Amino acid sequence: MKRALLVVALVVGLSSLAEAGAVPAVACSMGALTTYLASGFSCTIGSLTFGNFSYSSAAFGGATAVPAGGITVTPMTGSEAGFQFEAPWSVSAAQGEDSAITYTVTATSGAITDLILSMGGFGITDGGNVALGETSVTPPLSLLVFDNLSGTQATDTITGLSLTSLTLVKDIALVGNGGVATLSVVYNEFSTSSTPEPASILLFGVGLVGLAGYLRRRRVSKS
């Protein structure tokens, strides 16, 4: 009976550790943002799970707001995982456009350590302004990239984090003023640690201690 209980403890510990590092079957794939907006949709890239997507857009001065179907989402893999959002954001003189993309990212193992926000394919003339901000309420985080008369910053990074989950809002704003403003690509990347969850380590340790005790008693009884 004792042997059976010890074996069960070891199996539970090993199973919990395996589950902590397991990746759900549905992987994020390239497609229109409308796919990601489906009710209950979630997907994974490496050890990160993404869900709760939402999108809103508005325009003024005769500009055309970019619809969700006009935004192509491409997963990014590697040491820094995340998304590339591609769309023809563009305004002319006296026009403006604003798009907001929101989603929750959760580390299924380890923790989120760094956030990277960047943009590509952007440009302005005659006072145009491109601004891309990313914020999180809990914890309070903020990144900003821009191209305007004051200068250009194409990448912003936050490092030294240790988060299991956060909800991000990306606000993409273009104003033409006396000229034009354009933006083609938004990049959002995350770095993660690969540390197993403490509870899983504890269960694994309990299993190993139980097995070691059983083997030690078995050797003593035989001697």
Same domain, 128 and 180: yes
**pLDDT score of 194 more than 80:** no
Per DSSP, what are the bridge partners of residue 190?
81, 115
Q: Which of 177, 186, 151 is nearest to 96 (CA)?
A: 177
Same domain, 164 and 205: no
List, for residues 80-111, the tens digit of each pLDDT value. 999 999 999 999 999 999 999 999 999 999 99
pLDDT for 217: 61
Same domain, 56 and 156: yes
Q: Which of these ranges, 61-70, 78-87, 212-221, has the smallest mean pLDDT?
A: 212-221
Determine the Cα–Cα distance for residues 8 and 2; give it in Å rounded to an integer. 10
Same domain, 92 and 182: yes
- Average pLDDT across the chain, whole number: 85
Same domain, 111 and 214: no
Same domain, 149 and 204: no
Residue 190 banded pLDDT, cuts 50, 70, 90: very high
Same domain, 12 and 36: no
Same domain, 89 and 167: yes
**Higher per-residue confidence, 20 vs 189:** 189
Determine the Cα–Cα distance for residues 33 and 152; give it in Å rounded to an integer. 27
Same domain, 85 and 186: yes
At CA 49, angle to CA 159 and CA 131, rounded to 5? 50
pLDDT for 200: 44
Q: Which of 210, 155, 211 is nearest to 186 (CA)?
A: 155
CATH number reported for the structural domain that contains residue 83 in this entry = 2.60.120
List, for residues 151-187, the tens digit of each pLDDT value. 999 999 999 999 999 999 999 999 999 999 999 999 9
Same domain, 52 and 86: yes
pLDDT for 79: 87
Same domain, 130 and 150: yes
List, for residues 105-148, the tens digit of each pLDDT value. 999 999 999 999 999 999 999 999 999 999 999 999 999 999 99
**pLDDT score of 40 more than 90:** yes
The separation between CA 122 and the C-alpha centre of its own chain, rounded to angstroms, equals 23
Same domain, 96 and 206: no
The structure tokens listed for 92 are 């002319």
Domain that holds residue 38: 28-195
Q: Write out the chain in H/E/C secondary structure.
A: CHHHHHHHHHHHHHHHHHHHCCCCCCECCCEEHHHHCCCCCEEEECCEEEEEEEEEEEEECCCCCCCHHHCEEEEECCCCEEEEEEEEEEECCCCEEEEEEEEEEEECCCCEEEEEEEEECCEEECCCEEEEEEEECCCCEEEEEEEECCEEECEEEECCCCECEEEEEEEEEEECCCCEEEEEEEEEEEEECCCCCHHHHHHHHHHHHHHHHHHHHHHHHHC
Per the structure, the count of domains in the chain is 2
